[in-house]
Structure 1
């Protein structure tokens, strides 16, 4: 028998023997064009999907290369139906191309085959947006550009948008060679590569897309590098006010822009300037649930030459519609994970752009750009007096009872004692649970209701060593720079959210002179254990494994 680590099945799933000597090399190939589905101790399951294949194709991985890699790693011959699927789906990227038209009111859509033309014309929702020009060419009105791309990807035909993007209003800016504090600064090689992969020669098909990099690897610097090359009026959209202030601080520290050129647009302050940083929340705010979104005009009427969507996997639904209208603007999505819990990855692909660059987490770890991290799942029993309430509860209530297991407090105390010299984040989903932990350690707690000024004061105290434990709710999942944090203790999470697991690990990945530890505390023999297995998929895909530790009370 062929001694290879992979079994490719006819349902387009793949089983990877993680104990095989070549498993890591095989996994590094798989993540370029597959998605991880399950990751128990011995065998990981991957699957091919349209989005994973189109992302691979858009970044230059051919269907032939995918088939060659799978054939090389597969223990048994691969079903012809699987090879056909790969060639069919991957080759669809590039079968529908959007280009300029001689008529300035329209764009031209060209399809490569008669079959695709017939499929398009049979769909009334999209056919009504098209004007037949010739046998395989259509005209579409410019304002329908995003809608046509969205409709076509839903049909299974991602559009290769080859229209040169419009240059925005010029704003002179550059990266600094020294920070404002006098430290030597240079853009890392992979950050330069990421920016170059997005911008290309700034010709047809360039200037838009998604960049996937680990938390702690400097996605903000990638955004600033793109800004410095385009030198244009820029809007940066991020997750919360703390992240807005962090972006502004980084720009002032590492770019030639002045305080007068950078504006904040949040619930607290609305001051748009040449470079403006805002939150998703302010864009999607409306006074009542059926009314208009008064601040979305910031996107459409700001005359931006570049829009940066920070944590693009969090892009809210109302912003998708506006993003569809902003197809002529240079745009980049920054994220550590393409996983969206609402399944709208295809909309990110078509409206923001396909994946242009990613780099394996463990590769940056080996190079010292992010910290070495060890992940452990701590399992403990439910108290005896809670077993009957748990047994008769519905599934949602079961999850909450297991998540708020009061015995977790003893685990947290033990883990804190295990790391007396580390900076520790205690992260959870449920406020009462976090309040009891904060009371035990006589610490304040940061939640969504904590005023922004108070949050930033607590973050500052942690950064400057005045405190070494922070108790935080899910507000700390995103875009918070706490470089000295080296231990994260997760006491509860948002059901099976893979992206949240990645973001929480990311809080402790800033490079430092010590290893980092990520603990997930889980009630065993409960629904929380099932959801924890799903949460860990993404990290397993990045090469991390969880040690299991049973906590004896």
Structure 2
């Protein structure tokens, strides 16, 4: 066993963990720590994690014991683990399951605990009182029937995560079979980690399962997990997705992999309003209002059928109004699918209490090693801001500083060089600002897809990209989510949404799907040196660093030395376009 000074971890009394990146035990330590702690900072040599109540409650929900967590800290810590940290871990892990939502012999909803002191404490709280009827006995209190979700939200906000074992309504039956072969003729096999996530969610139909979140990387087949869970539940299902294109992709996957007929699948979007045994709807249509502050026009979809199962795709994007409706759907089985539990609005606790705790999570690097997702390299290229732009930047406000650095014209040189270098690859140029994307599209004669691109045109361009008729696409943030371009192996990110960690994860996910001709992917981030964009970029990288990805950083000079000058590259590109041999 390693001596104390040979270990990689420092555990501080404020529950922050400092982990040495260059230590030979780093990989193992990070893998174990990430099960119960959240990454906060990831500078080059020392990563900072924090143990939070929510990270511990998710660990408890996945059956991780306090003893295992404390043992992990002792296993890797250079110095003695502060006693207060160990004590708090035992306290928070012990809190999960101390309060349970259940039903009594008559079917009434009750909040109960083996320790009557917990019941006495929570029913005195003003945030909880609107949802309880009165005591049944010292260990149980009646909960108002329609407020199962509301009381869970209220309790988690005062530090009491509830284990919900009150069961589910069956909903309308809908049985189907999984196809042994796909439309392509290949065998359809659910991968081991997909099978494990389905089992962890469904839990053989017991009350311990049936609600929760499965976290898998983009390209790892979250849709297959959703289909497998639908097969296990065997009920009419409402699937909520991010956009209309996602509806079509879910529909195609269901038709390809199950015996469900096309006539049994409904689309509920801006274009169609169909309600079928399997109905796929967008978040946008559910949050539509005729006027600001008015009623949500289509919330009736939740009650329009006796659904037995609801699937929330990209659950980290679930709009706040849908949370409110979900609080009234706690008797339905619910599955959240996501590549990251990080929410930019800080509503992770609402995901925990209303969709359910994390049921299954697998490290991205683990799937990469097994070749289930592509091996990826992340490269950051820092471009200068020329003197005139630097003067404008110095007097701009914070928001304008970010935009100026994001739309830095010097990035064109890097984009052109990368496009030439990867001319035989399938490349996505991804950005935030429409003017910038239009300039890139016009300069390099590459098709552009934005939110205003008609759906049929998007589908045509995506298909041309898949079949390699088109080698590159310029895409706005519409491509952050739920597009299936399995052969994309290079992404060039030229601007983004401030410090959005979820966006960074989703954009890398565009190139992580396994490749038919190799399994290597490249993710470039082109940023402006010594600017607010560089500062935000550090935060964007946090999630991917937590997953084990390293960022290789080039200065503009290093980049030129590696790839050649812009003038040289543009000359070569011109010769290629005109059919002359590139020198």
TM range (shorter): over 0.9
2-side partners of 1:22 and 1:79: how far apart? 21
| Structure 1 unmatched runs, 5+ | none
1:532 is aligned to 537
Cα distance between partner residues in 1 of 2:365 and 2:401: 35
| Aligned counterparts, 1:199-278, within 5 A | 199-278=202-281
**Equivalent in 97, 117, 120 of residue 119 of structure 2:** 117
Q: Specify the alignment match of 2:60 in structure 1.
A: 57
Contact 1:209 1:349 in 2 (8 A): yes
Q: Is the 8 A contact 1:173 1:255 kept in 2?
A: yes
Pick aligned residue for 1:174 from 160, 172, 177: 177
Counterpart of 2:164? 161
Task: Report the aligned-residue RMSD.
Answer: 1.1
Structure whose CA Rg is larger: 2
Q: Alignment partner of 2:435: what SS?
A: helix
Structure 1 Cα separation of the partners of residues 98 and 551 of structure 2: 42
1:425 aligns with 2:428: yes
Contact 1:168 1:233 (C-alpha < 8 Å) held by counterparts: yes
Q: In 2, are the aligned partners of 1:488 and 1:508 still within 8 Å (CA)?
A: yes
Q: In the alignment, which residue of structure 2 is the partner of 1:364?
A: 367
State the partner residue of 1:312: 315
Report the Cα offset of residue 114 of structure 1.
4.1
Is 1:80 the counterpart of 2:83 in the alignment? yes
Could you list the per-position Cα deviations for residues 33-59 of structure 1 after superposition, in whole angstroms to 9, with x for gaps in the alignment? 010000111101000111111110000
Alignment partner of 1:516 is 2:516 = no
Determine if contact 1:164/1:206 at 8 Å carries over to the other structure.
no
For 1:438, the equivalent position in structure 2 comes to: 441
Distance 1:422 1:543 in 2: 25
Map 1:440-459 → 2, pairs under 5 A: 440-459=443-462
1:129 to 128, 131, 142: 131
Aligned residue for 1:378, secondary structure, equals: strand
**Comparing 271-280 and 441-450, the one that deviates more:** 441-450
1:252-273: per-residue Cα shift (whole Å, max 9, x none)?
1111101111111110111111
State the 1:482 CA deviation.
0.3
Are 1:543 and 2:574 matched, yes or no? no
Whether the aligned pair in 2 keeps the contact of 1:164 and 1:202 (CA below 8 Å) is: no
Runs of 4 or more, structure 1, over 6 Å off, are: none
Looking at structure 1, the residues matched to 406 and 522 of structure 2 have their Cα atoms a distance apart, in angstroms, of 20
Which string of whole-angstrom CA distances, capped at 9 and with x for unpartnered residues, describes residues 221-253 of structure 1? 000011112221011101011111000011111
Match of 1:476 among 479, 487, 500: 479
Are the equivalent residues in 1 in contact too, given 2:111–2:141 (CA < 8 A)?
A: yes
Q: For 1:365 and 1:45, how far apart are their aligned partners in 2? A: 24
Deviates more, 1:108-117 or 1:337-346: 108-117
Distance in 1 between residues matched to 2:393 and 2:248, nearest whole Å: 43
Partner of 2:39: 36
Per the alignment, residue 147 of structure 1 pairs with: 150
1:379 counterpart = 2:392: no
- Mapped partners of 1:449, 1:421: distance in 2: 29
- Partners of 1:529 and 1:452 in 2: how far apart? 34
Of 84, 88, 92, the match for 2:95: 92
Give unmatched runs, 5+ long, in structure 2: 561-583
After TM superposition, give the deviation of residue 8 of structure 1 in Å. 0.7
Match of 2:106 in 1: 103
TM-score, with length taken from structure 1:
0.98
Is this contact kept in 1: 2:119–2:141, CA < 8 A? no
Query: Contact 2:218–2:339 (CA<8 Å) still a contact in 1?
Result: yes
Mapped partners of 1:502, 1:25: distance in 2: 22
> What's the CA shift string for 1:462-498, capped at 9, x where partnerless?
1121101010011100111100000000000100000
Q: Is the Cα contact below 8 Å between 2:381 and 2:527 reproduced in 1? A: yes
Confirm or deny: 8 A CA contact 2:236 2:308 kept in the other structure.
yes
Structure 2: distance between partners of 1:322 and 1:396: 34
Q: Tell me the alpha carbon deviations over residues 181-221 of structure 1, each in whole angstroms, 9 at most, x when there is no partner.
A: 32221111111110000001211221110000000000000
From 329, 333, 344, the equivalent of 2:332 is 329
**2 CA distance for matches of 1:121 and 1:304?**
32
Instruction: After superposition, give the CA deviation of every residue in 1:68-91 in whole Å (9 maximum; x if it has no partner).
Output: 001111000011111111111121
Deviation at residue 444 of structure 1 after TM alignment:
2.5
Match of 2:570 in 1: none
Q: SS where residue 132 of structure 1 aligns?
A: strand
Within 1, Cα distance between the matches of 2:240 and 2:386? 44
- SS of 2:249 mapped into structure 1: helix
